Amino acid sequence: MISVNNVTMRYGAKILFENVTTTFSAGRRYGLTGPNGAGKSTFMKLLSGEIDPQVGTVVRPRKMGVLRQDQFAFDRFRVIDTVIMGNAPLWAALEEREILYAKPELTDEDGMRLGELEGVVSEEDGYTAESDAAILLQGLDIPDELHERTMGELQGGQKVRVLLAQALFGNPQALLLDEPTNHLDLDSIHWLQEFLNSYQGTLIVISHDRHFLNSVCTHTADIDYQTIITYTGGYNDMVIAKTQIRSRIESENAQREKKIAQLNEFISRFAAGTRSSQVTSRRKEVERLQTTELARSNIRRPYIKFEQRRPSGRHALEFEGVSKSYGEQHVIRNFSATIARGEKIALIGRNGVGKTTLVRALLANATLTAPAGHLLQVQEEPKSIDGGSVKWGHEASVGYFPQDQTGLIAKGMTVGDWLHQFDPSLSREEVRGVLGQMLFNGEEGMKPTEALSGGETARLLFCRLMIQKPNILVMDEPTNHLDLESITALNIALQRYEGTVLLVTHDQDLIEECASRIWHFEPGKIDDFQGSYEEFSAAFA
């Protein structure tokens, strides 16, 4: 159990939350939600003890698992050791025991200390630590051959999974997970869901994956209105309950205000007359009926709408025998497909099996929508495919949202100027309108491009697609830097879009609600399934 008592955190004049008192009980799994900037990560740091509250206290259990955000902190350690470090008392005992055994001779005192350390190792299941850690790593798709490597030899996504295993190791009484599904593929996310659903301690998780929150959480702690309110159920349950409560209060306020207006009219008519006792009683009634003041929500909802300037031909894309290798590694082998206008295809599978490789190979032969006189380049090797042919359809106009956005937005410009170049025929007012839809309001439209955060960069790229109006959208992990409100807006926009979509994502709700066709990637093989993700899951169950 974790207990929070009268906790307040503010930065300057901005109040994140004030006088928060709440309890996170054992056996319950809490989703910590709220818009970007509401204070979710700050609150998580308070719970872990990384920072202290400005006011109030936090009581936490002795053994806690925390997902570390610093990917480079363990670069010199073995992967298997990094996981075992998740149990701090065990790791300290193992290190001290190793130092003592390395001595040429042991004193009596050393022998007694060794006995104590062996007791700690036994109590903390240290004799099976490496095998237990290996099971966690295998579940998170870290193969056995990497377990003895150092963390510095791993890729970024692999490091995240190892740090996740570290947080899960040692049966902690409480788990604090900040964005645990980042860089995880669907299979790893499903494994994590099953693991967490069987976890008996206190779980608190921040995630922008709505399906994950609905699948795992028994309760939702929502940070908004400068406080934290806990609702029963997953994310969808919280949204419904929160909306109902807000609507009820607004309705009650409207009725009270109507009644107050009637009473004030009576008071103004008879205040100087003979009905003083009635006037006094109505004044008391007005005081009693004062409406509940509604705090302003921090939630900001973007509006995304993708349109086509003109539709493509009946066949948006045809390719035959496409192959791609890196050295001796065959990523794509002899894959052929025809994509009809309006199809929405989700590319799914483990990380590293070729989804982004195929997207880039196809795009290398496409004419992407770009500013007048400019050609958008896809960051890909000069030789895009090793074999096969690619033919984009008549009038095909491709809008691309890449996974790696490094260097994609030129520096030294304002957000508005950068966007305007993609359609100079638009007025400045029209550009500001599109920016406003994506929450770049007022002065934010003058923000320097070099000052953009990851989420702002993603929203600006959506603005670009909205004014370019392509008839084919190619999106590679578009949800990586988005909050739940932005992901919901993207989901709705893709469902309503009448053009063709190629979508690489691990967001299950996005796949289930948008895709009409599935390309499932396995090493050296791609299954082309004509149907929804629900039908695909049933067929391959």
| Other C-beta atoms lying within 10 Å of the C-beta of residue 226 | 19
Work out the widest C-alpha separation in the chain, in whole angstroms: 106
Q: Can you give the pLDDT at residue 227?
A: 85
CATH number at residue 26: 3.40.50.300
Query: In the 8-state DSSP scheme, what is residue 448?
Result: B
Instruction: With respect to residue 270, please indicate whether it lies within any of the assigned structural domains.
Output: no
Domain contains 269: no
Indicate if 382 and 518 belong to the same structural domain: yes
Residue type, 459: R
* Structural domain range at position 180: 2-238
Q: Give the residue from 91, 82, 81, 87 showing the smallest Cα distance to 117.
A: 91
> Helices 484-496 and 454-468 sit at what angle, rounded to 10 degrees?
20
Do 427 and 320 belong together in one domain? yes
Statement to judge: residues 382 and 503 lie in one domain: yes
The predicted pLDDT at position 211 comes to 94
Enter the pTM of the model: 0.78
pLDDT value for 268: 79
Task: Evaluate whether residue 251 is within a structural domain.
Answer: no
166: in domain: yes
Q: Are 168 and 65 in contact (CB under 8 A)?
A: yes
Do residues 218 and 343 share a domain? no
* Alpha-carbon 106 to chain mean position: 52
100 Cβ contact list (under 8 Å, min separation 6): 106, 110, 113, 114, 117
Last residue of a domain, one of 238, 256, 282: 238
On whether both 202 and 323 belong to a single domain, the answer is no
pLDDT along the chain (541 residues), means of 10: 92 85 94 85 91 93 83 90 92 93 89 92 92 92 93 84 89 90 84 89 93 96 88 92 75 74 78 71 74 62 93 93 83 92 94 88 68 39 70 91 86 92 93 94 87 89 95 93 90 96 95 96 91 91 69
What is the pLDDT at residue 270? 74
Q: Looking at the domain assignment, is residue 267 inside a domain?
A: no
- Residue 292's pLDDT is 56
Q: How many CB atoms lie within 10 A of CB 116?
A: 12
Q: What is the sign, positive or negative, of the torsion defined by CA atoms of 473, 476, 482, 488?
A: positive
Whether 278 is covered by a domain: the verdict is no
Q: pLDDT digits over 23-73, tens only?
A: 999 999 999 998 777 888 899 999 999 899 999 999 999 888 998 767 788
3-state secondary structure labels for all residues of 474-529 = EEECCCCCCCHHHHHHHHHHHHHCCCEEEEECCCHHHHHHHCCEEEEEECCEEEEE
Q: Does a structural domain hold residue 233?
A: yes
For 20-31, how does the pLDDT look when each residue is reduced to its tens digit (9 = 90+)? 999 999 999 999
Q: So what's the pLDDT on residue 366?
A: 64
Q: What is the pLDDT of residue 147?
A: 96
Of 238, 253, 273, the residue that ends a domain is 238
pLDDT at 278: 76
Which residues have C-beta within 8 Å of that of residue 243, sequence separation ≥ 6? none
Is 233 in the same domain as 321? Answer: no
Residue at token pair 């966690």: 136
Assess whether 219 and 327 both reside in one domain.
no
Contacts of 396 (CB under 8 A, 6+ apart): 312, 313, 316, 317, 366, 367, 471, 472
Provide the number of structural domains found in the chain. Answer: 2
Asked if residue 127 and residue 6 are part of one domain, the reply reads yes
| DSSP sequence for 251-303 | HHHHHHHHHHHHHHHHHHHHTTSS-HHHHHHHHHHHHHTPPPPPPPP------
Last residue within a domain, chosen from 186, 221, 238: 238
- The CA-atom distances, in angstroms, between 55 and each of 27, 333, 498 are 28, 60, 52
Q: Are residues 320 and 224 in the same domain?
A: no
For residue 257, being part of any structural domain is answered with no
